[in-house]
Amino acid sequence: MRLRPPRGLRVRLVIAFLLVSALSALITAALTFRQARSAILDRTQDNAVHELRAQVDSLAPDLPFPPTTQDLRNFTRQLDRAGTSRDWRTAASYRGGPPVSAPGETRKTEVPAALRTAVGEEKDAVVRQRVEHDGTPWLVIGMPVLYGTDGADERRAVSGLVVYADFSLDGDKADIAALVTAAQAGAVPALVIALGPALFAARRVLRPVRGLRNGAEKLASGDLGTRLPVTGHDELSDLTRTFNAMATHLEQDDAELRRMEATARRFAADVAHELRTPLAAMTAVTEVLDEDARGGTLPADTADAVLLISDETRKLARMVEDLMEVSRFDAGAATLHLDEVALRTLVEKTVQLRGWQTPPGRVVVEVPDDVRVSVDPRRIDVVLANLIGNGLRHGAPPVVVRARREPGSEARDAGGDDLVVTVIDHGAGIPDDVLPHVFDRFYKADAARTRSEGSGLGLAIAAENVRLHHGTLTAANSPEGGAEFTLTLPLALPRPDVPEVEEGP
């Protein structure tokens, strides 16, 4: 299984702090160990050399020169007896001869060739070398024996006699091992103790970061008045100042956009309101002229012109009505007049009022007779008319209207069942890039199509009416082809507690 690095910033900071602490402790322990090890070995070597020198200086004067082999054996026996505290074994060599040890010893002094060579080169200096036998460190000393002085420089003369001694450093090894054990034993408590400062430091560092995160979440939720307190003069305080400046600009831009949007909506509502009265009069006049044109009382060219003007006047009047309806939704002035009705009757009435029942099969209503729903009949009629009319204009017949009951959404406080109404046509469907925008105001799927029978507000008004009923309206493409609009409404819509008011103009 692949291990993933920790994702939390706090965890990363704590781990980084502990790693730095562990690395610092490791380096300190390594340097301390190295110095302590060198000190222990140097002290042992110096003491051994000092003791050997003292014994050699004490016994060498009694040694006859030139010494015989037996003299060297006797000499080394005396040295071995004097060095019982270190348990060294000695050997003596005269003028480059082989080292001679005391007779009867089971362990002979092992003198490395390199050490003998170094003693020969240094002449009057003590040479030391650490070797290893069977995993145990040993120290071998080569000490030339000097006597008298050699004249003007008052240096002691080389006698040609060299004493070798070796002894085990096992005791020092145990001391060094104890140092390693102590360092390892101290590392774990040091890391545990370092965890506290690590958590404290991480909390101090992350406190401004948490504040910035909370502030960003408030901004994202729409609370543009969010500001954060600035403390200190570090990089995080600069970031906090930048955040506050960004929030200020966002709040100003949002206020400006809201002002411009309100102005635009008020302008559209005012224009629609001012056009409503003259358009009503024009519609009445064109209807009279329509009758004359269709009755053949007007010349043919005049009749065509009258019919064209009459048609355009009706479109303009319908657009003005749609604009006024949208302005009511924007102003929050749209209200519901609830009534319990049979859904099938409501759908059939919508179809008959628009003359869509002919030819037969153009609109197919598959709604059970026993489905009753509490809605505003006028607004649901607008919704159904927009959906069915959209299917007939932009899709292809037959347009099928179906209804079914479904368990209500748990998120809705009122509970109860939902009424799901689907309106499906048999056209080419809606392009995928258009689907997200079908409920946008004045959205045209084909930019080249500048004129249409509708105002471009029909589906937007339908969606607003559904929202007013606490329902949803979605658009998709049917698996069998064609566009499919799904209207979901709660069957038992609660009546508002406040008295209903008359709608605005």
CB-based contacts of 251: which residues, under 8 Å, 6+ apart? 224, 225
CA angle centred on 360, ends 357 and 362, rounded to 5°: 70
Q: What is the pLDDT of residue 464?
A: 92
> Domain 9-148+156-177 adopts which CATH fold?
Beta-Lactamase (3.30.450)
The pair phi, psi for residue 147, each rounded to 5°, is -150, 155
93 pairs with which residues across the strands?
A: 162
The hierarchical CATH code for the domain 235-327 is 1.10.287
Cis link prior to 398 (omega < 30° from 0)? yes
- Residue 261 contacts by C-beta under 8 Å, 6 or more apart in sequence? none
Structure tokens at 10: 């706090």
Residues of the chain with pLDDT below 70 are 1-7, 105-107, 122-123, 147-157, 409-415, 444-455, 493-505
Rounded to 10 degrees, what is the CA torsion of 118, 119, 121, 126?
100
CATH superfamily of 335-446+454-490: Histidine kinase-like ATPase, C-terminal domain (3.30.565.10)
pLDDT (0 to 100) of residue 499:
46
**Quick check: 31 and 207 in contact, CB under 8 A?**
no
Going by DSSP bridges, is the β-strand pair 372-375/363-366 parallel, antiparallel, or unpaired?
Answer: unpaired
Separation of alpha carbons 149 and 133, rounded Å: 39
Q: How far apart are CA 469 and CA 485, in angstroms?
A: 17
Report pLDDT for 156. 62
**pLDDT at residue 414, as a whole number:** 53
**CA of 133: how far to CAs of 113, 138, 169, in Å?**
15, 7, 11
* Domain locations along the chain: 9-148+156-177, 235-327, 335-446+454-490
**pLDDT given at position 149:** 52
Q: What is the pLDDT of residue 292?
A: 82
Cβ proximity of 476 and 412 under 8 Å: no
Query: How many Å apart are CA 406 and CA 55, to the nearest integer?
Result: 109
CA contacts within 13 A on the Cβ side of 464: 21
Q: What is the phi/psi pair of residue 316, to 5°?
A: -65, -40
Structure tokens at 383: 């919704």
> Containing H/E element for 56?
helix 9-59
Q: Buried b / exposed e across 184-221, counting CB within 10 Å, b at 16+?
A: eeeeeebeeebeeebeeebeeebebeebbeebeebbee
Cα–Cα distance between 117 and 409 in angstroms, integer? Answer: 98
